DNA sequence: CTCCTTAGATAAACCGGTTAAGTCCGGCCG
DNA sequence: CGGCCGGACTTAACCGGTTTATCTAAGGAG
């Protein structure tokens, strides 16, 4: 028992393929009676369109692509991507669009993937994540004319639409919160230097520190626990160690908490810790981490909506999705005077 | 500038489409000279096959599918899937096969996805994860005749090939290790009851406890930190609390560590903790968690290899991938006599 | 020299849809 | 009554490959 094609339906209905095609796609040129009959037969035969055939005849593939560029081991620990993917998926599956995923550990490979996917018409568009400053990929994508939405990047970047979050206001509120608790030496452990949101946060961190009379310090890590632990040890071993550290993701913050425990520095009594990217991870540890974050799955859903519209030829507008909110928990507290 | 098709190549080479097709697919019926000329032209024009067209004419789609059935928030925290996906991807991308991903929060939806994907010829085969005892999906898949590989399930299950890990030996070695440290009251916080590996581990845990003279206790959780924390609190508040707890994944173990800290129970002095699924998460916290695990990415790669072979019509054999090894770290130690 | 074989290439159908360009027919209008 | 219009369908081409059947000419055997 093969699967029915429109030709089978046409034969049973006594019409031609074209009529069936028109009927099934709600296009004019078919009488109501015929249309109803065709639909009934199609349903009865369990017909489903062949995406492949549709894609071939100029239509859409019904697939959107995502390339994630992090080494396997790093990727696993960081909840961000999985949540983003879940959110994207939830939106896409309701529209009957599939998600093609590629994991690379090389920026060059990523570009090649875009080219290949587009050449093969495998996808109708792609999500661009981990936006860097002066990102080469945006040029490639505009050059290819490939629908793409920048996740976490500013509007108008290389002409690509984007959905991003307010990175400035949260930095400010975290700083004000810590200052209100009496902290004057605050460190920031930043993520990868080239990324757009890292730069945004760096700048606002410096500015806020200046304006609030805070002595800033910090370091850079690659979102892994190991790197963050190294930076944290260095910071805490200095002559005038920070009384609060803000980490650029949850994994690094947990690692920081581990280092504090290892050095017998009580949290939050002697050290306050704030994590970016609030996830279940932050509530897993003790004390639970104060974190600034937002609903990543919802963010993914909005991004997906945007790209789906773009790929379907509908007009889209870049938008700021949300401003992350601070959830104070057990890892932050007033400075203890010694 | 459109992208070249085999018809363009044929015109330039002064032959027909068929000849070009034969030449490009290394099939006989073309002279070496002509073949070389065609290949040169194809390369020069930057030709790439249209997957869509190939898939339509009976060929393979070059896509394998994976449906993950966990709620978005749970999924994010658990490193297992992301690592598995990374491993799968690494293998697939080297073979120029794409991965289609679907995240559902409903077992029924999963089955529907299999049917749809197969009907639309969107994928050449699927990975089946989170195998349950008496899994309905294996029946559906064999009925559909859809190539599928069971990840983490026994050989011969419903006729589907599988790649799994030895779940029995590691349980035994963990128990022996803990008993050697003097533990006689050991608890196990198990994952979802219906899953195949949960049952395997449960059985061996009971058997080992009996044979080693250990008083077992335990509970069940759904791999989330919250659920694990609840179970842990109950276990530790009992009249004869366990001196060691084994958790079915890393996330729950970290949560357990958090509960211990919250209850002022020192680890490993008063309580030893062992995690299944060794990931960076285990080394993030303090003390670092003793864990039993294996290279998930490599596991994913083997699984991918298996399904790729199966989908290509090559014979495959079910195989036990590996036996997880125990990595003792700071969270386990000898029982302190009070 | 003829017949047979076969390498090398062609022609054409096919996969399952979409779509531009007809064809047919009935009704309305001047 | 003739012409025009438009609704309902049909015809046929097309998307970019694969594949089967067919053709042609050259080479070898008898």
Q: What is the pLDDT of residue A292?
A: 97
Min mean pLDDT across A56-60, B129-133, B267-271 is at A56-60
Most B CBs within 10 Å: which of A61, A62, A64, A72, as the mutation test of the B interface? A72
d(CA B309, CA A147): 33
Per-residue pLDDT for A108 more than 90?
Answer: no
Q: What is the pLDDT of residue A156?
A: 63
For the CA of A29 and the C1' of D1, the distance in angstroms is: 30
User: Sign of dihedral through CA atoms B292, B295, B296, B300?
Assistant: negative
Mean pLDDT computed over A305-332: 93
Cα B166 to chain centroid, rounded? 14
CB of A113 closer than 8 Å to CB of A104: yes
Q: Which nucleotide in the DNA or RNA is closest to residue A31, CA to C1'? A: D8
Is B45 near strand D, with its CB below 7 A from some atom of it? no
Smallest Cα distance from A77 to chain B, Å: 5
| Candidates B53, B286, B288, partner chain A, best to mutate (most A CBs within 10 A) | B286
Over range B285-297, report the average pLDDT. Answer: 95
* Torsion from C-alpha of A149, A155, A156, A159, nearest 10 degrees: 0
Tokens of A47: 């017909």
Average pLDDT over residues A116-130: 89
CB contact set of A158 (below 8 Å; sequence gap of 6+)? A135, A138, A139, A141, A142
Q: What percentage of residues in chain A have a pLDDT greater than 70?
A: 97
**Per-residue pLDDT tens for A160-179?**
999 999 999 999 999 999 99
- The spacing between the Cα labelled CA in A272 and the C1' in D23, in angstroms, equals 85
A258 vs B contacts (CB less than 8 Å): 284-286, 288
Displacement of CA A282 from its chain's centroid (Å): 19
> Is B87 in contact with A72 (Cβ distance < 8 A)?
yes
Closest protein CA to C1' of nucleotide C19, residue: A18
CA-wise closest residue to A259 among A239, A283, A234? A234
Q: Is the dihedral of CA B150, B154, B160, B162 positive or negative?
A: positive
Closest C1' nucleotide to A56's CA? D15
Residue A241: CB atoms within 10 A of its CB come to 16
The DSSP annotation for B110-158 comes to: HHHHHHHHHHTT--SEEEE-SPBTT-HHHHHHHHHT--EEEET--TTGG
Sort strands B290-293 and B325-327 into parallel, antiparallel or unpaired: antiparallel
Is pLDDT above 60 for A1?
Answer: no
In sequence order, the 6+-apart residues with CB closer than 8 A to the CB of B310 are B125, B147, B148, B149, B161, B316
Note the CA–C1' distance, A52 to D5, in angstroms: 39
Interface A:B, Cβ pairs < 8 A: 186
Please tell me whether residue B48 adopts helix, strand or coil conformation: coil
- pLDDT of the residue at A144: 85
Q: Give strand pairing partners of A325.
A: A293
Give CA–CA dist B213/B175, Å, rounded: 11
> pLDDT tens for residues A217-261?
999 999 999 999 999 999 999 999 999 999 999 999 999 999 999
Sequence-distant (6+) residues with CB within 8 A of A23 are A30, A34, A35, A38, A39
């Amino acid at each position: 028992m093969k699967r029915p094609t429109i030709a089978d339906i046409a034969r049973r209905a006594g019409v031609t393929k074209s009529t069936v095609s028109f009927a099934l796609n709600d296009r004019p040129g078919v009488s109501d009676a015929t249309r109803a009959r065709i639909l009934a037969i199609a349903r009865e035969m369990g017909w489903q369109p062949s995406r492949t055939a549709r894609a071939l005849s100029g239509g859409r593939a019904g697939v959107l692509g995502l390339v994630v560029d992090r080494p396997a081991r790093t990727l696993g620990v960081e909840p961000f991507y999985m949540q983003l993917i879940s959110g994207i998926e939830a939106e896409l599956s309701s529209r009957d669009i599939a998600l093609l995923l590629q994991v690379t550990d090389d920026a060059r490979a990523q570009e090649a993937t875009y080219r290949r996917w587009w050449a093969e018409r495998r996808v109708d568009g792609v999500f661009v994540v981990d936006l860097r400053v002066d990102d080469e990929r945006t040029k490639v994508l505009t050059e290819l004319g490939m629908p793409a939405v920048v996740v976490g990047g500013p509007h108008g970047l290389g002409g690509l639409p984007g959905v991003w979050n307010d990175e400035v206001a949260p930095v400010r509120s975290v700083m004000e919160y810590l200052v209100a608790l009496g902290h004057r030496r605050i460190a920031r452990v930043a993520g990868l230097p080239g990324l757009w949101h890292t730069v945004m946060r760096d700048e606002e961190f410096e500015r806020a520190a200046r304006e609030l009379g805070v002595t800033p310090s910090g370091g850079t890590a690659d979102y892994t626990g190991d790197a963050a632990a190294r930076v944290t040890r260095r910071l805490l071993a200095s002559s005038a160690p920070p009384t609060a550290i803000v980490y650029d993701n949850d994994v690094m913050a947990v690692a920081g908490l581990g280092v504090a425990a290892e050095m017998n520095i009580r949290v939050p009594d002697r050290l306050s810790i704030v994590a970016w990217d609030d996830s279940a991870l932050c509530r897993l540890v003790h004390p639970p981490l104060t974190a600034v974050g937002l609903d990543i799955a919802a963010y993914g859903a909005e991004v997906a909506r945007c790209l789906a519209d773009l790929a379907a030829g509908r007009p889209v507008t870049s938008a700021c999705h949300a401003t992350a909110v601070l959830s104070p928990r057990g890892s932050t507290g007033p400075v203890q005077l010694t």
